[in-house]
Amino acid sequence: MLQVGIIGLPNVGKSTLFNALAHGHGQAEVSNYPFCTIDANVAVVPVPEPRLERLAELFKQETRVPATVKFVDIAGLVRDAHRGEGLGNQFLAHIREGDAILHVVRCFDDPQIAHVEGWVDPARDVQTVQNELIQADRESMERRVEKARSQAKSGKTEDLEKLTQAESLLTWLGDGQPASEWPDREHGKGLLAEVFLLTTKPFLYVANAPEEGDGDHVQALTDFAASTGARVLRIPAKLSADLADLDPDEAREFMQELGLDQTALAEIVLASYELLDQVTFFTGVGAELTAWAATRGTPLGAAAGRIHSDMQTGFIKAEVVPYEGLCRVGSWAAAREKGLMVAKGKDQPVEDGDVVYVHFRKPG
């Protein structure tokens, strides 16, 4: 399952946003005090997918199982958290093995809500958190260098090369640079895969700003993010939480009044999905239709393993029909008759919208 860590300074609306995302899936404490999030909060959120509903209606399948994204909300970071300020940076372990990071940035002025730095400055606030992530990565690499030095005593070329890479990366982080910009990152892919550094992960920024106003703060964040190629979503966290508390019909009516065609929360989930270059494929068994996530280019054999490991191990072939074609002809049998169904091998990639039936040998 995809996992996205939610980070930010205290009092930026991080837990409010998480609670809106987690509606019905777990709640985080919210108050006007720094560090009210102590333990990590976790919510598994469905990925909005209208094609799932359309296929289920077409094939009269009553149970729809969407693809999901796990969001993990951790305690707010402050300047010098790596030195023990605030609650420290020990909470970063909760997101170290995740796939991406969603950084919530305060882009509104409100004298009733304290700011840990005294005033709102999105670029400064992002850099403060970024510095703490770099320092946390530096601590991880210090431990990895010690291990590499021990292994290098073997005299093996591979171990000596790994030590050189580890020391190079540690120096880079020590200079205050993120691992994502390490000049030797292509050659050092093997090392990076071992250490789960936070600053190698893709970032998505959320500007917590009201529906109107505070445009200067949002622009400042957008300008900063542009230098790294990251995307910024403008999300009013309080409004999103209020919408999540309404029943679906009331929420739709309210959204229509506001001129919104989708919730900000759906925008976050879909943006996370896009950030990680995910595609969706579908399978149907009995009365159940399921949407599955896979990284673009994933071979069908590996995609089948998402469903069940036996399917990957005993994979024979996959019968595949594109979503659009299946909807056009109206049935699996018609798709076969009209030549829309294609038999594919385990090494061929699964495509977005593929409806898949896997043939496999059962173990034993």
Residue 87 has a pLDDT of 62
In our burial notation (b when 16+ CB lie closer than 10 A, e otherwise), range 267-286 reads bbbbbbbebbebbbbbbbee
Report the pLDDT value the prediction gives residue 34, as an integer from 0 to 100.
42
The pLDDT value recorded for residue 28 is: 42
Question: Helix 237-245 crosses helix 248-258 at what angle (to 10 degrees)?
Answer: 140
Predicted local distance difference test score (pLDDT) of residue 39: 63
Task: Determine the Cα–Cα distance for residues 105 and 214; give it in Å rounded to an integer.
Answer: 13
- Whose tokens are 């049998």? That residue is 333
What count of other Cβ atoms lies within 10 Å of the Cβ of residue 62?
9
User: In this structure, what are the phi and psi dihedrals at residue 271, rounded to the nearest 5 degrees?
Assistant: -65, -35
What's the sign of the alpha-carbon dihedral 286, 288, 291, 292? negative
Using the Cα atoms of residue 223, residue 227, residue 232 and residue 236 in order, give the sign of their dihedral: negative
Measured CA to CA, the distance from residue 235 to residue 214 in angstroms comes to 12
State the CATH class of domain 297-360.
Answer: alpha beta
Per-residue DSSP letters for 22-49?
TTTS------SSTT---S-EEEEEEPP-
- pLDDT by 10s per residue, the chain, length 364: 899 999 999 889 888 888 888 875 444 444 434 444 456 788 889 999 999 999 999 988 889 999 999 999 887 888 887 777 666 567 788 888 899 999 999 999 998 898 988 999 999 999 999 999 999 999 999 999 999 999 999 999 999 999 999 999 999 999 999 999 999 999 999 999 999 999 999 999 999 998 877 689 999 999 999 988 999 999 998 888 888 888 888 888 888 887 777 777 888 999 999 999 999 999 998 889 999 999 999 999 999 999 999 999 999 999 999 999 999 999 999 999 999 999 999 999 999 999 999 999 998 7
**Nearest by Cα to 104 from 28, 172, 48:** 28
Q: Return the domain boundaries, the chain.
A: 297-360
In whole angstroms, give the CA distance from residue 25 to residue 121: 32
Residue 51: which of 253, 318, 322, 259 has the closest Cα? 322
For residue 312, which phi and psi values (nearest 5 degrees)? -75, -45
Measured between alpha carbons, how far is 181 from 169 in angstroms, rounded to an integer? 10
Q: From CA 11, how far away is CA 13, in angstroms rounded?
A: 6
